Amino acid sequence: MKFFIQTWGCQMNDHDGEKLSGLLMAEGFQAVDSVEQADLVMLNTCSIREKAVHKVYSELGRLREEKQRRPLLVGVTGCLAQQEQAALFKRAPHVDFVLGTMALKQLPRLVAEAQAGRTRVMDTGEYPDNHLFPPAVTRRRDLAKALVTITEGCNHACTYCIVPTTRGAERHRPCGDILAEVHGLVASGYREVELLGQNVNSYSGGCTFAELLERVSEVDGLEWLRFTTSHPMNFTRELARVLVTNSKVAPFLHLPLQSGSDQVLKRMLREYTVADYLERIGFLGEGRARMALSTDFIVGFPGETDQDFEATLRVLDEVAFDGSFSFIYSPRPGTPSLRLKDDLPMAVKSERLMRLQRRQTELTQASNERFVGRQVPVRVETRGPTQHGWWLARSGEWKTVHLMVGPGRELPFGELVQARVTMASPHFLGAVLD
Ligand code: 5AD
Ligand code: SF4
């Protein structure tokens, strides 16, 4: 049996895809690179916004046609699977099995049942040990940086968010398990890890998140440590101190703000005011200048006034985020914000999104220009798409770096090299090898 997994969404979903691949490969299945080559196709889905869901259903439509031509097993996993459960079979009757986000290890059983001819096979149970997935099974796709789960689920209750439904309540991996996994990864050649959780900084698997960062950073041979994603209310002074003092923790912080208006934040149930958020960024002190800061915004949340939106633009400027991801509010099934009146025309929402993104582009350009002329360590990721002798790399601040090395020259994949930045655009830094 040959299988292909298509993944959408966040790093946690990517990593789930790596775990699911490992489970299938342990059963003797062979991974292939396209639907056409596969006997089993799994859609590892995201449902954070309506658009992500559309993509899944359109791919399912394509698979229905493929299935009319030849034998093919189709499975749906990930957040849409957990959200829709049996309703998925109604909308897409050609789906053979549905696997939830908290039942990953049930995959071989589900596939075996589907292969035996059972229809509408499903497991969306909440297995309490899902987060204790054995690292030896995982088949990693990203070879420059290894993803490591530290917590799953979220105990916050933001009114717009589907994640508490699709990922459940928080479960934390014991600190010793995480350290053992990182030791193993470094022994097998990884130099960079990214700790994952829907809310990493509420970690409580035997120590605080700040302590966990310190302990992981002590693993010999590890060069950079990253984490995603954080909630401002769990961002402590202790964590800020580790961020600015520990040289192995990459100088990058993604801290979602969502809105610069206290009224909107309240309706979102974000549990903080703008002043609270700014206070937390202040915890970084002078170290802040050496870090890149990024955030998420939701534009057009129900009831967002012109004044609310202007307040968001003001905070964007005040913090001068190095980068941000911004989205138009998307109503999600079963979330509390559905009850709020949402009568803002889409044209207004789109205009606001464009204004915010235009301003962010200027800020990112300014942030990138600060690198010009500097020497920075970057990790070599891949050869550039053209064969003209440039490579893609990443800086500690998570900047994309185009490294010009000249045709024919090979770079050490996955290693740190010293680059000298020669130009800045809003999307990447241009650099040469020093
Ligand atoms: N609509 C729009 N954006 C959303 N996000 C989460 N839920 C929604 C929604 N219903 C955004 C938030 C979050 C990021 C991962 O996605 O900004 O931080
Ligand atoms: Fe998408 Fe959120 Fe699920 Fe990640 S956790 S796949 S972003 S819905």
Q: What is the pLDDT of residues 357-411, one digit of tens each?
A: 999 999 999 999 999 999 999 999 988 877 778 999 999 999 999 999 888 888 8
pLDDT band at 2 (very low <50, low <70, confident <90, very high): very high
What stretch of H or E contains 44?
strand 40-45
* Residues pairing with 149 in the sheet: 196
Task: Tell me, using a 6 A CB cutoff, whether residue 46 lines ligand 2.
Answer: yes
Task: Tell me, using a 6 A CB cutoff, whether residue 49 lines ligand 1.
Answer: yes
Which ligand is located closest to the Cα atom of residue 13? 2
Contact partners, residue 330, CB within 8 Å, separation at least 6: 48, 49, 50, 51, 160
Task: Tell me, using a 6 A CB cutoff, whether residue 163 lines ligand 1.
Answer: no
Report CA(9)–ligand 2 centroid distance (Å).
5
Pocket test for ligand 2, best of 5, 7, 8, 12 (most atoms within 8 A of CB): 12
Chain-centroid distance of CA 349 in Å reads 25
Which ligand is located closest to the Cα atom of residue 56? 2
Of 31, 80, 29, the closest CA to residue 58 belongs to: 80
- What was the pLDDT predicted at 140? 96
- Which DSSP state fits 258? B
For ligand 2, atom 1, name the residue with the nearest CA: 46
For 177, the token pair is 């398990």
For ligand 1, atom 2, name the residue with the nearest CA: 329
pLDDT band at 271 (very low <50, low <70, confident <90, very high): very high
Report the alpha-carbon distance of residue 47 to residue 45 in Å, rounded: 7
Backbone φ, ψ for residue 115 (5° rounding): -65, -35
Per residue, the 3-state secondary structure of 117-154, as one string, reads: CCCCEEECCCCCCHHHCCCCCCCCCCCCCEEEECEECC
CA 79 to ligand 2: nearest atom: 3
Task: Tell me, using a 6 A CB cutoff, whether residue 296 lines ligand 1.
Answer: yes
Return the minimum-mean-pLDDT range out of 102-106, 243-247, 379-383.
379-383
Rounded to 10 deg, the angle between the 175-187 and 209-217 helix axes is 30
* Residues pairing with 102 in the sheet: none
Contact criterion met (CB below 8 Å) for 103 and 130: yes
Report CA(35)–ligand 1 centroid distance (Å).
29
Q: 315-343, pLDDT tens digit by residue?
A: 999 999 999 999 999 999 999 999 999 99
- What was the pLDDT predicted at 407? 81
Report CA(19)–ligand 2 centroid distance (Å).
16
Pocket test for ligand 2, best of 6, 48, 50 (most atoms within 8 A of CB): 48
The radius of gyration computed from the CA coordinates of the chain, to the nearest angstrom, equals 22
Task: Tell me, using a 6 A CB cutoff, whether residue 47 lines ligand 2.
Answer: yes
Which ligand is located closest to the Cα atom of residue 10? 2
Q: Helix or strand or coil: residue 224?
A: strand
Report CA(371)–ligand 2 centroid distance (Å).
32
Average pLDDT of the chain is 97
Of 314, 306, 310, the closest CA to residue 277 belongs to: 314
Of 165, 7, 193, 15, the closest CA to residue 83 belongs to: 165
For 351, the token pair is 């205009």
Report the alpha-carbon distance of residue 82 to residue 46 in Å, rounded: 10
Report CA(220)–ligand 1 centroid distance (Å).
37
Which ligand is located closest to the Cα atom of residue 302? 1
Report the alpha-carbon distance of residue 320 to residue 293 in Å, rounded: 8
What stretch of H or E contains 187?
helix 175-187
Number of C-beta neighbours around residue 339 at 10 A = 9
Identify the burial level of 150 via C-beta atoms within 10 angstroms of its C-beta, where 0-12 means exposed, 13-18 middle and 19 or more buried.
buried
Task: Tell me, using a 6 A CB cutoff, whether residue 161 lines ligand 1.
Answer: yes
Report CA(79)–ligand 2 centroid distance (Å).
6
CA 242 → CA 208, 265, 382, distances in Å? 12, 28, 30
Q: Please determine, for residue 35, whether its predicted confidence score (pLDDT) is greater than 80.
A: yes
Contact criterion met (CB below 8 Å) for 173 and 149: yes
Report the alpha-carbon distance of residue 135 to residue 127 in Å, rounded: 17
- What was the pLDDT predicted at 385? 75
CA 11 to ligand 2: nearest atom: 4
Task: Tell me, using a 6 A CB cutoff, whether residue 11 lines ligand 1.
Answer: no
Report the alpha-carbon distance of residue 83 to residue 78 in Å, rounded: 9
Task: Tell me, using a 6 A CB cutoff, whether residue 153 lines ligand 2.
Answer: no
Return the minimum-mean-pLDDT range out of 100-104, 141-145, 314-318, 400-404.
141-145
Question: Do 2-123 and 375-432 share a fold?
Answer: no
Report CA(431)–ligand 1 centroid distance (Å).
33
For 19, the token pair is 């775990």
C-alpha angle with apex 53: 52 to 56, nearest 5 degrees? 95
**pTM as predicted:** 0.96
How many Å from the N-terminal Cα to the C-terminal Cα in the chain?
Answer: 48
Task: Tell me, using a 6 A CB cutoff, whether residue 332 lines ligand 1.
Answer: yes
Report CA(63)–ligand 2 centroid distance (Å).
22
Q: Which amino acid is at 372?
A: V
pLDDT band at 244 (very low <50, low <70, confident <90, very high): very high
Pocket test for ligand 2, best of 5, 6, 13, 84 (most atoms within 8 A of CB): 13
- What was the pLDDT predicted at 413? 87
Was domain 375-432 assigned CATH 2.40.50.140?
A: yes
CA 177 → CA 90, 216, 347, 355, 374, distances in Å? 40, 11, 49, 45, 39
Contact criterion met (CB below 8 Å) for 185 and 140: no
- What was the pLDDT predicted at 386? 72
Q: 190-229, pLDDT tens digit by residue?
A: 999 999 999 999 999 999 999 999 999 999 999 999 999 9
Report CA(298)–ligand 1 centroid distance (Å).
6
Report the alpha-carbon distance of residue 346 to residue 428 in Å, rounded: 31
For the chain, the domains span 2-123, 375-432
Contact criterion met (CB below 8 Å) for 212 and 175: yes
What stretch of H or E contains 19?
helix 11-26
Q: 296-322, pLDDT tens digit by residue?
A: 999 999 999 999 999 999 999 999 999
CATH number of 2-123: 3.40.50.12160
User: What percentage of the chain has pLDDT greater than the value 90?
Assistant: 95
